[in-house]
Structure 1
Amino acid sequence: MPAITLSNLSWATPDGRRVLSNLDLSFTSERTGLVGRNGTGKTSLLRLMSGELTPLSGRVTIDGTIGVLRQELLPDPDATIADLFGVREALAVLDRAARGDARVDELSDADWTLEARMEAALASVGLAAEPDAPLVQLSGGQRTRAALAALTFAAPDFLLLDEPTNNLDREGRAAVAELLAGWGAGAIVVSHDRELLEAMDAIVELTSLGATRYGGGWSAYRERKALELAAAEHDLAVADRRVAEIDRRAQAMVERKARKDSVGAKKGARGDMPRILIGAMKRRAEETGGAGARLADKQRDEASSAAAAARERVEVLQPFKVVQPPTGLLPGKIVLRADGLTFGHVSGEPLIDDFSFDLTGPERVAITGANGSGKSTLLDLIAGRLAPWEGSVRVGVPFAMFDQEVALLDRDATILDNFRRLNPVADENACRAALARYMFRADAALQTVATLSGGQLLRAGLACVLGGPTPPQLLLLDEPTNHLDIDSIETVEAGLRGYDGALLVVSHDAAFLDAIGVTRRIAIG
C-alpha cells in the first residue's frame, strides 16, 4: 500500500530556527488536512515530503508517487496549460498527424486519447481552456485549477496541496472540493478553508510541541479540541483549589505555632518551667516549624507549577473573545445607498453597470461573484477611492475599510502609535486596555506594524479601529481571511461578532460569512 512515513524528522530554517522537531507520522491512502498556526511548518513539511528541502535529521520515506501543488508563483511568459500537463510535444505530434506531417515512428507512439483526457481533467475542476492557452493570460484562480487538473491527470498515489483554494471564487472552491471528494488515493492538504477540511478523513495539527492526529474532518477535530479545553479547565480548577488549600493549611499552621509560642512564653514568664526545658522546647518548636514551612513551601511550589501549566493549556485552547464599545447605530438608519453605479478600468467596457443597493441599520451583507466581477472595485467606489463613471454612492455614517494590506495602519509606526492616531481622545490607559483585549499586551503593543504577520496585522487593525471609544458604524472588508491561518481567522470572527455596527464584506469563505452573521448576499457580475 502507498505510504509516506516521517521518522524522527527535524528541520530548521537557514538561520538555525528550529521549526519541526522529531516528528513521527505516517500518511496512507486517505485525505488528510494539515492545520496549524502560521510558522508551525506546514508548507515546509510538504516541501520535505516532495524533496525540495533536506531534513536537519531523521528521514522521509515515500512508497508510491507524489504530485505537488505549490502556492502560486508567476509562470514563465511562454508556458501553456500543456506544459503543466507535460504533454506539449505529445500534442505537437497529434497536430502534425492531423496535418499529415507526422513520421511513421511518431504515429506508432501517438496517444490518440490525450486531448479527450486533458479536456476531461480540465472539466473536472470547472475549467474550459485550450491546451495552448498561455498561463500568464489566466487569472490566479484559473491557473490553480489548471494545475490541479494536471496533477489528477498524472494520477499519483499522493497529492500534496498547499492552500489549493486560495484566490479561488465560490465556483472554484466547489470544484476543488468535488475533485477531492472523488479522489481515491492519498492527499495531504494544507488549508485554512474549513469547508474543504470538513471533507477530510483526518486532521493533523502542527504546533510548536509537535503533531497530533485527529480522525474525521473539521467538525470532529473541533469537538475533540473542545473536550481538551474542558479537560484543561477542569485541571485548572483542581490546581487552583489545591493551591488555595495549601495556603489555608499553611496559614492555620502559622496560627497554631503562634498560639503555642504564646502559651510557652507565658509559662516561662511565670517561672513554671526550668530554663533548660524551655530552651529545648523552643529549639524543637523551631525545628518542627521550619520543617513544616519547608514542606508547605515545596507543596505550594508544586501546586503553583501545576496551576500555571493548566492555565497555559487553557489560554492556548480558549477561543478568543472580545467585548467592543457600542457604535450607537440605530436599526432604521440608512447606512449607505448606491444608485446606478457604473465604472470600469477600460474606457467603454464597464465592469460594474447600473448597480444599486441600500444597506440599512446594523445589517451584515456579503458581496458575492466570480473572480474579476468587480467586488473589490465596488468597495473602492463606496470608500471613495474611485470615482464612478455614472451614478452615485452615499455613505451616511462613519466607516473604515479593511483591504488585504490593512492600509489604514501606518506600517512604520507601532501598534500603540497607530491606535493613538486613530483615537486621539483616548488616554494611555484606554489605549493599553483596548489593545490588550486584542492580545497586544505590554511590549506587544510596541511592535512596528511592518513586522507583523498577516493575522497580527488584521487583528491590530481591528484593535485600533474597533477598540476606540466610538467605533465606526460601518466596516468594509475585502477578503479579510486570505492567507490567514485558522486561529487568526477565528480571532477576526470573534472581533466582528462583538461589533454591533454594519458590515459589507467581500469574501469567498462561506464558513467565515456564516460565523460573522451575514444575513444577506448581493451578487455582482
Structure 2
Amino acid sequence: MTTHPGTTASVTCSALGFGWPDGTPVFDGLQTSFGPGRTGLIGLNGSGKSTLLKLIAGELTPTSGSVRTQGEVGYLPQNITLDTGRRVDDVLGIAATRAALHAIEAGDTAEEHFTAVGDDWDVEERATATLGSLGLGHIGLDRTVGEISGGESVLLRLAALLLARPEVLLLDEPTNNLDLYARRRLHQAVAAWSGVLIVVSHDRELLDLADQIADLRAGTITWYGGNFTDYEEALAAQQEAAERTVRAAESDVRRQKRDLADAQMKLARRKRYGQKMNESKREPKIVMGLRKQQAEVSAGKHRGLHEERLAGAKDRLDEALEAVRDDDEIRIDLPHTAVPAGRTVLTLRDATLRHGARVEGGFDVHGPERVALLGRNGAGKTTLLRTLAGELDPVEGEASAQVPLRFLPQRLDVLEDTLSVAGNVARFAPTATNNQIRARLAHFLFRGARADQNAGTLSGGERFRATLATLMLAEPAPQLLMLDEPTNNLDMASVRKLTSALDSYRGALLVASHDVPFLRSIGITRWMLLDGGLHETDPDAEDLLT
C-alpha cells in the first residue's frame, strides 16, 4: 500500500490475482479502479467482495499483480470483535491525546504532552460530535465496550474511522445485525461521505445512496452508473435484450439444422441416382467414375459449409446464453399452508418474557396476516419468537399457537450437517416418498445431484434455501411461519429467491427484521414495535430514530 499526499484519493487494481492456500482461485488479472464517490460493491455470496476489500485494506497480499491506494485507508470489517475491557476513547484512537490534554489542563507543561496533542485541541468535542451523529451521544468516552450493545460497537468502530478522516473508506456489510435505528444513523453517515467509499452490502436502502454500482461476477467487475435502483433497471433492460438475442440465436440454430438436413437429403438423392446410373451402365465406366468423384467433392464442400454454419450458430447461441443471468425464482404451490381469513392462529396474553420484555394486554394474529416485528437490538424480538415457537416458556402470561407452526432462527441450526438436503426434508416430512421430496426440492432450485449435497457443504445462501425448504415442506404443513432476521448475510439474489418463496406461502407470517425494503416486498399487513411493550407502528415514523 502506498500513500500519495496531496493527490486525489483512489484505488487501482492492476492485473490483480489472488487464490487461497488450497488452490481455490478468486481473482485472475482483475483490472479496475475506484475514484471519489460512493460505490456499492455487489455480487453473489462467494464472489470475492470481502476478499477484495481485504486486499485493498492490506489485510491480504495479492498472489500476482498489485493494489495501489492514494490516500489513507479506513476499513470496517464484516465481523467486529472488540475487547470488552477497552474504553471508548481507546477504540476511537484518542486516549493518548485526551490524557495529554487533561495533563496540560491540570498544569503539567511537559513537552511530551504538547507533542501528543499537536493541533488536536478540540479532540473531545469532535469525538462527542461524531458519536452524536451516529446516535451514540449517550455513550461517554470513559465507558468500556462491555457496557454497550453489539450494534453500538459497530457504530463505535465506524466513529473511530470517521474521526481518523481517511480518504478511502471500506465498509463490509456494515448494517448486519444493526437495528432500524442504527441503520438509519449509518445511512446518514454514508450519505454525508465525500471521499472514496466502497461498501459491500445487501441493504437496499444503503445501496440506493451509492453513486455507482460495481457488480462483481466471475472475477470481473461491470460498472453501472447511479444507485441500486438504477442498476436494477439497467440490468432488466440488458437481460431483456440478451433474451431477445438468445431467441434469435435459437431460431438461427433451428434454421441451420433444417438447412443441413435438407442438404443431406439432396446429397442422399444424388447418391442414389448415381448408384442407379452405375447399375444400368448407361455411361462409360470412366465417365461415371469421374462424375462420382466430382459429386463426392461437391457433397463434401456442401456438407462442410452447412456444418460450419450450424457450428457458428451454436457458438452465437452459447455466447448469447452467457449474457443471460440465472435468476431462477422459487415457485411452488403450497395449498395446505392456507389459513381462512377469520381464524386465530396466534395468541399472546399479558406475557412477561425471559430477560424482562413485557407484552401488556393481548396480541393476536388472524388468518394469513403478514406481521413485521421491529425493535432495537436487545429489545427481545428473538426471545418473543422463541417463546411463541414453544422453545421458551413465558415467565408470566400465555403464549400459544392454534395452528402448525415452524420457526426459522437466525443461526440456521435446523439442518443436520451430515445429511443431504433431501435427507433433511425427509426428517420433517416422513410420509413423503423420495420422488415427491425431489420433485418439491426442484422448485427450491435443488435439482438432481444438488439435492444429494450434504448440508454441511452448502454455502450460506444455499443453506438458508435448504432450511426454508425443509420448514415449508414439513408435515403437517406450517400455517404459521416465523422468521428471525432472514436477510442477514444473504446476497441480493438470495433475498429475491426468499421473496419469491414467500409469495407462494399462503399461511400467516411473523418476521423480525430491520430490513424495511424486504419487509415491504413480502406484503407486510401490520407493523409491530417491541419497545417495553408491543404496539402497532409506522416503519417510516421519525420517532424510530430517537
Q: TM-score, normalised by structure 2?
A: 0.89
Offset at residue 209 of structure 1 (A): 3.8
Is 1:497 the counterpart of 2:503? The answer is yes
Query: In the alignment, which of 64, 71, 78 is matched to residue 78 of structure 2?
Result: 71
Q: 1:250 to 1:471 in 2, by over 3 A?
A: farther
Report the equivalent of 1:217: 227
* Other-structure match for 1:356: 362
Q: 1:469 to 1:240 in 2, by over 3 A?
A: farther
| 3-state secondary structure, aligned to 2:324 | helix
Q: State the distance in 2 between where 1:522 and 1:208 align.
A: 41
Letter in 2 for 1:87: I
Cα distance, 1:477 vs structure 2: 0.3
Kept in 1: contact 2:26–2:219 (CA 8 A): no
For residues 251 and 24 of structure 1, the distance between their equivalents in structure 2, rounded to whole angstroms, comes to 46
Aligned counterparts of 1:282 and 1:427: Cα–Cα separation in 2: 62
Counterpart for residue 321 of structure 2: 311
Task: Report what 2:198 is aligned to.
Answer: 188
User: 1-side partners of 2:269 and 2:23: how far apart?
Assistant: 60
Q: Which residue of 2 aligns with 1:153?
A: 163
Separation in 2, partners of 1:167, 1:296? 60
1:459-486 Cα distance to aligned partner (Å, 9 max, x none): 1112233356874222110011111222
2:20 alignment counterpart = 13
Deviation, structure 1 residue 238: 1.2
The change in CA–CA distance for 1:276 and 1:107 in structure 2 (over 3 A counts) is: closer
Report the CA distance shift for 1:359/1:306 in structure 2 as closer, same or farther (over 3 A): same
- Of the three residues 102, 121, 141, the one matched with 2:130 is 121
SS in 2 for 1:177: helix
Describe how 1:113-512 pairs up with structure 2 within 5 A.
113-127=122-136, 128-265=138-275, 272-274=282-284, 276-316=286-326, 318-326=327-335, 327-345=337-355, 350-354=356-360, 356-467=362-473, 471-512=477-518
The question of whether the paired residues in 1 share the 8 Å contact of 2:428 and 2:475 is answered with no
1:383/1:323 Cα in 2 relative to 1: closer, same or farther (>3 Å)?
A: same
**2-structure distance, mates of 1:5, 1:23:** 10
Contact 2:348 2:362 in 1 (8 A): yes
In structure 1, distance between residues paired with 2:411 and 2:456 = 11
**Closer, same or farther: CA 389–470 of 1 in aligned 2, 3 Å:** closer
- Which range is displaced more, 213-222 or 416-425? 416-425
Question: What is the CA deviation profile of residues 104-151 of structure 1, one whole-angstrom value per residue up to 9, with x for unaligned ones?
Answer: 546756554222111101001111201121112321110011111111
Deviation at 1:101, TM superposition (A): 5.6
CA-CA distance at 1:338 after TM superposition: 1.4
Deviates more, 1:355-364 or 1:468-477: 468-477
Q: Which segment drifts farther, 122-131 or 207-216?
A: 207-216
Moved more, 444-453 or 458-467: 458-467
Deviation at 1:277, TM superposition (A): 4.2
**Cα gap change, 1:264 to 1:487, in 2 (>3 Å):** same
TM-score by length of 1: 0.93
Letter paired with 2:92:
F
- Separation in 2 of the partners of 1:469 and 1:255? 58
**Structure 1 gap ranges (5+):** none
Offset from partner CA, 1:319-348 (integer Å, 9 cap, x none): 524233322322222221212221123xxx
| SS in structure 1 at match of 2:372 | strand
Q: In terms of mean alpha carbon deviation, does 238-247 or 37-46 score higher? A: 37-46
How many pairs are equivalent? 519
Amino acid at match of 2:395: W
Correspondence for 2:4: none
Question: Structure 1 residue 388: deviation in Å?
Answer: 0.6
CA distance, structure 2, for counterparts of residue 463 and residue 387 of structure 1: 27
CA–CA distance in structure 1, aligned partners of residues 456 and 358 of structure 2: 34
Question: Displacement of 1:374 after TM fit?
Answer: 0.6
Give distance in 2, aligned partners of 1:291 and 1:427.
55
Q: 1:158: Cα distance to partner?
A: 1.4
Once the two structures are overlaid, the 10-residue window that deviates more, 514-523 or 257-266, is 257-266
Which runs of no fewer than 5 residues in structure 2 stay unpaired? 1-7, 532-546
- Mark the CA change 1:356 to 1:93 in structure 2 (over 3 Å): closer, same or farther: farther
**Alignment partners' CA distance in 2, 1:103 and 1:406:** 58
Q: 1:518 to 1:122 in 2, by over 3 A?
A: same
Q: Contact between 2:483 and 2:512, CA under 8 Å: does it hold in 1?
A: yes
Query: What amino acid sits opposite 2:225 in the alignment?
Result: G
Contact 1:42 1:190 in 2 (8 A): yes
Aligned to 2:139, the other structure's residue is in SS state coil
SS in 2 for 1:79: coil
Structure 1 residue 160: Cα displacement? 1.1
**Alignment partner, residue 61 of structure 1:** 68
Q: Structure 1 residues 443 and 276, CA, compared in 2 at 3 Å: closer, same or farther?
A: same
Specify the code of the residue in structure 2 equivalent to 1:121.
Answer: T
Instruction: Look up the equivalent residue of 2:201 and give its one-letter code.
Output: S
Deviates more, 1:292-301 or 1:241-250: 292-301
**CA–CA distance in 2 between the matches of 1:57 and 1:244?**
45
